[in-house]
Chain A
Amino acid sequence: MIDRGAFGRFAEPARLVLAALREGPSQGVSLLDAVRAADGPVGPGTLYAAIARLEQLGLIEGRAGTDGRTAYRLTNHSAGTSAAPGGAC
Chain B
Amino acid sequence: MRALVRLYPRRWRDRYESEILALLDERPMSIADGIDLVRGALDAHLHPQVPGRARTAQPLTHRIPGLVALTAGLLWTWNLAYLALRADLAGDWGSLAGIAFVLMLLSLPGDYMAAGHGRRVAIGLGVIAACFVGIAAIPALPIKVVLAAIGYPLIFGGMLGLAAVRAGIGSRGRWRLIGLAIALPVMIGIPVAIGVTATSPSIRLLYALIIPYGLAWLLIGLRMAIRGAPTIIDPPAGIVEPEVQPA
Interface residues of A (CB under 8 A from B): 1-3, 6, 27-29, 32-33, 41-46, 48-49, 51-53, 55-59, 69-70, 75, 77, 80-81
Check B23–A49 contact: CB distance below 8 A: no
B14-38 CB contacts (< 8 Å) to partner A = 15-16, 19-20, 22-24, 26-27, 29-30, 32-33, 35-38
Check B50–A52 contact: CB distance below 8 A: yes
Partner of B246, one of A33, A52, A57: A57
Check A45–B36 contact: CB distance below 8 A: yes
For the complex formed, measure the closest distance between the CB of A44 and the CB atoms of chain B, giving whole angstroms.
6
For the complex formed, measure the closest distance between the CB of B137 and the CB atoms of chain A, giving whole angstroms.
55
Partner of A32, one of B16, B23, B50, B246: B23
* Residue from A29, A33, A69, A77 having most chain B Cβ neighbours under 10 A: A29
Main secondary structure of the interface of A (DSSP, over half): helix
* Residue from B30, B32, B33 having most chain A Cβ neighbours under 10 A: B33
Check B247–A77 contact: CB distance below 8 A: yes
Q: How many A-B residue pairs have CB under 8 A?
A: 85
Interface residues of B (CB under 8 A from A): 12, 15-16, 19-20, 22-24, 26-27, 29-30, 32-33, 35-41, 43-44, 49-51, 244-247
For the complex formed, measure the closest distance between the CB of B1 and the CB atoms of chain A, giving whole angstroms.
9
* Assembled-state Cα–Cα distance A9/B16 (Å): 20
